[in-house]
Structure 1
Amino acid sequence: MVRWSADGVVAVTGAGGRLGSRLAFRLAAEGARQKLVTRSPDHVPRLDDGRPLPESQVARIDGYDDAEGLRRAFDRVRTVFLVSAAESANRVELHTAAIDAAVAAGVERLVYVSFVGAAPDAVFTFARDHWHTEEHLRASGLRWTVLRDNIYHHALTTFVGPDGVIRGPAGDGRVASVSHDDVADVATAVLLDEKPRRHDGVTYEVTGPQALTLHEVAAILSEAAGRTIVYEPETVEEAYASRASAGVEDHVVAGWVSSYEAIAAGALEHVSDDVPRLVGRPARSLAQWLDDYPAEWAHLLVRDRA
């Protein structure tokens, strides 16, 4: 049964990704009208009976810098769910271009996926990009809601090196990581509320139910994977040196290293009650997520066999 219809069609960006696809399934289950916006139409989820969606419900864009493509995608859409772009040197420009396209298309409301602790001087360098995006959104004239997510549970599994070691300058800091499903559930609650305006101008902090040290994360991953995974703290200097040969741009390395620094600084340790308050159930812990979604962290097992 549709709980909400006042805000019309929802455009879901990043519809082929982990978060966008999960949201698309939830909106479909509620009977909400939506348009899936993606760079890769072949990757969008097949909803309802498993058949491909009609072309009118899928919009292909070349990226957030595709202004004309975005305007077409957002045509006759009242609400946009904006998944943040992949990390890049011009990430803020991409986000602001997408927001401007929404304004140009006559969109009324935008829900943006940000990051906890977003600030101009955030320790985590990528969180600074989110702050600048939020500022542009606030000045856009759109009705807006911001979901500031913590690090995803899945991302923590990618911290593990091929040798089963998590290395980084996180010290004994804690991280309240969250599942993509919980973020999708919060987004669904915000988008489909019978009184959507109660979420206008509100910033939610979307976290898991507990804050763990990386030593504790490693122990939980070890239990799930059936292999030894450990955390070895690095200094900041060691972290930059160990990633110097990764073959990526400097700003990407800075983002990797500063994510650990943010944990050490306590910037990611706050446990919010926004998931249980909006969704009506506790957030999923890392251990619960590992039990529920083994395919999401199968790379840990593959590495062990390599």
Structure 2
Amino acid sequence: MPEMPMTDRPCVLVTGAGGFIGAAIVARLRAEGFAVRGVARDPEAAARRMPGIDWVLGDFNRDGAPDAWRPRLEGVAAVVNAAGILQDGAGDSLDAVHIRGADALFAAAEAAGIRRVVQISAIGAEPDAATAFMRTKAEGDRRLQARDLDWIVLRPGLVIGRPVYGGTGLIRGLAALPFAIPVMAGAKPMQVIGLEDVAAEVVRSLGPDAKIRVVHDLVHPEPHELAEIITRHRQWLGFTPVPVLTAPAWTGRLLGKVGDVCGWFGWRAPIRSTAIRQTLEGVVGDPAGWVADTGATPTPLEALPGLGPATVQDRWHARLWALRPLALVGLALFWLASGLIALGPGFTDAVSTLIVTGIDAEPARWLTAATAALDIAIGAALLARRWHRAALVATLLVSLAYLAGGTLLAPALWVDPLAPLLKILPQMLLALVLLATAESR
């Protein structure tokens, strides 16, 4: 069996190194003594979160040629491709990430003489799969298997661990809902796998004795209903039991469409059409080959996350999972409505209020129009993933300006029964909370 080139501290290139699975792989590799070169879209931010790694800039969406990958592979002994996206969205392409970009990486590794390549795929990745996510994953796997490399394809099921993101965040968020656990009618059984099990298997796959040119399904053999998976998470979080509510399948499809729209605003919403379709298809595989080849013992659901009791931070995150997007949308709608009302039916009253403070009529009209336009701009920016941090900062600065202007021009507003100035303060506090929780991973 060909062996992976080894050095005193072999360097492994990991794509998607800052993601849910990729970060766990990086941590396990470092614990096992490997040097890691992590590929990230924002290497500076990744370096702040995970120091001690050689972070390099890379994005499969634009790095579709082998030449883009050759400099990143210098001094590398093996490659782990953990990059992936759920579906097309603003700046993201399934074809680019799962096929063209991945194939360029594989071609560059082949040309550089790097033998070992570990591909993180997914259960159900087949050419005739129901979703584009699975079909493009399958094509990426096929292109890897066609190359002269010592490849290993790992296909995890539903990955569960202490950290959460995407679908696992959705499960924990549903588990924290106060009155009932909603489960979509028609959801098929799923097989789970521990995040640490996946990371450990990647390390094993990089060893000189690992069986190569194999496809392994990484799942525990026992399938579970979605309701059971969510209920067990609720038990782990320490919340009181609530009934399971079966919702019609159309409600899930509708939410998936809403998530798709969010995707075009830059948000990687966990509830999207692909996730809904996959839930209806189920997530099942056959781990027999994996267990026979490696002797692995997959962790059962009842032992997951398996990292000790839930903390108050876990419960906070679970509760905030649904509250934060609602709060963000609510704040955005507040700014949009404020500006639109000021430009529309409330324009005359707004101008009159400024005139009463001593401002001339023409400047009052221009100031009303300008502040209304600013409000609309802030509201729109809050809805866009790329701009929402800046919009939250603008919320604070503009609110301070409104407080200062109102205090100077009409100090009596502080004791007005409708409290127009006092109401700005809780709005600013909400913006601070949203800004403090703006990170998605």
Please give the TM-score of this superposition, normalised by the length of structure 1.
0.79
Q: Which residue number in structure 1 is paired with residue 284 of structure 2?
A: 269
Show CA shifts across 1:224-243 (max 9, x none): 23134554444543422244
Compared CA separation, residues 166 and 32, structure 1 to 2 (3 A): same
How many angstroms does 1:127 deviate by?
1.4
Q: Are 1:64 and 1:94, in contact at CA under 8 Å, matched by a contact in 2?
A: yes
2-structure distance, mates of 1:20, 1:235: 35
Show CA shifts across 1:156-203 (max 9, x none): 4514445653332444x3211112211111111111x2224x22x200
Compared CA separation, residues 38 and 274, structure 1 to 2 (3 A): farther
Q: Are 2:14 and 2:37, in contact at CA under 8 Å, matched by a contact in 1?
A: yes
SS of structure 2 residue aligned to 1:241: helix
2-structure distance, mates of 1:230, 1:64: 43
Which of 213, 227, 230 is equivalent to 1:218?
A: 230
Unaligned 5+ segments in structure 1 are: none
Q: Which has the higher contact order (CA 8 A, sep 6+)?
A: 1
1-structure distance, mates of 2:155, 2:24: 17
Alignment of 1:217-256 (within 5 A): 217-225=229-237, 226-228=239-241, 231-246=244-259, 247-248=261-262, 253-256=272-275
Compared CA separation, residues 305 and 87, structure 1 to 2 (3 A): closer
Q: Which residue number in structure 2 is paired with residue 10 of structure 1?
A: 12
Q: Which residue number in structure 2 is paired with residue 146 of structure 1?
A: 153
Show CA shifts across 1:42-98 (max 9, x none): 325888xxxx437xx332224452355533212332421001322233213223323
How many angstroms does 1:278 deviate by?
6.4
Q: Does 1:166 align with 2:182?
A: yes
Which of 98, 101, 112 is equivalent to 1:97?
A: 101
2-structure distance, mates of 1:240, 1:304: 18
2-structure distance, mates of 1:209, 1:134: 23
Which amino acid is the alignment partner of residue 95 of structure 2? V
Show CA shifts across 1:250-269 (max 9, x none): 9x833022111112xxxx23
Q: Which residue number in structure 1 is paired with residue 318 of structure 2?
A: 300
2-structure distance, mates of 1:305, 1:248: 16
How many angstroms does 1:126 deviate by?
1.9
Q: Which residue number in structure 1 is paired with residue 348 of structure 2?
A: none
Please give the TM-score of this superposition, normalised by the length of structure 2.
0.57
Which amino acid is the alignment partner of residue 97 of structure 2? L
How many angstroms does 1:150 deviate by?
0.4
Unaligned 5+ segments in structure 2 are: 265-270, 325-441
Q: Are 1:35 and 1:59, in contact at CA under 8 Å, matched by a contact in 2?
A: yes
Q: Which residue number in structure 1 is paired with residue 214 of structure 2?
A: 202
With 37-46 and 86-95 compared, the bigger mean Cα shift is at 37-46
Q: Higher strand fraction: Structure 1 or Structure 2?
A: 1
SS of structure 2 residue aligned to 1:119: coil
Compared CA separation, residues 134 and 281, structure 1 to 2 (3 A): closer
Q: Are 2:158 and 2:193, in contact at CA under 8 Å, matched by a contact in 1?
A: yes
Compared CA separation, residues 25 and 280, structure 1 to 2 (3 A): farther
Q: Which residue number in structure 1 is paired with residue 437 of structure 2?
A: none
Which amino acid is the alignment partner of residue 275 of structure 2? W
Alignment of 1:176-187 (within 5 A): 176-187=191-202
Q: Which residue number in structure 2 is paired with residue 118 of structure 1?
A: 125
Compared CA separation, residues 104 and 243, structure 1 to 2 (3 A): closer
Q: Which residue number in structure 2 is paired with residue 284 of structure 1?
A: 299
Compared CA separation, residues 4 and 256, structure 1 to 2 (3 A): closer
With 270-279 and 130-139 compared, the bigger mean Cα shift is at 270-279
With 284-293 and 18-27 compared, the bigger mean Cα shift is at 284-293
Q: Which residue number in structure 1 is paired with residue 87 of structure 2?
A: 88
Give aligned pairs, total: 290
Between structure 1 and structure 2, the one with the greater Rg is 2
Q: Are 2:5 and 2:77, in contact at CA under 8 Å, matched by a contact in 1?
A: no
Q: Are 1:290 and 1:297, in contact at CA under 8 Å, matched by a contact in 2?
A: no
Q: Higher helix fraction: Structure 1 or Structure 2?
A: 2
Show CA shifts across 1:79-119 (max 9, x none): 21001322233213223323313423523332111111211
Q: Are 1:157 and 1:297, in contact at CA under 8 Å, matched by a contact in 2?
A: no
SS of structure 1 residue aligned to 2:34: coil
Which amino acid is the alignment partner of residue 122 of structure 2? F
CA RMSD in angstroms comes to 3.4
2-structure distance, mates of 1:291, 1:74: 35
How many angstroms does 1:149 deviate by?
0.8
With 290-299 and 121-130 compared, the bigger mean Cα shift is at 290-299
Compared CA separation, residues 58 and 297, structure 1 to 2 (3 A): same
2-structure distance, mates of 1:144, 1:82: 11
2-structure distance, mates of 1:230, 1:286: 20
Q: Which residue number in structure 1 is paired with residue 142 of structure 2?
A: 135
Compared CA separation, residues 169 and 113, structure 1 to 2 (3 A): farther
Compared CA separation, residues 189 and 277, structure 1 to 2 (3 A): farther
With 126-135 and 155-164 compared, the bigger mean Cα shift is at 155-164
Q: Percent identity?
A: 19
1-structure distance, mates of 2:118, 2:5: 16
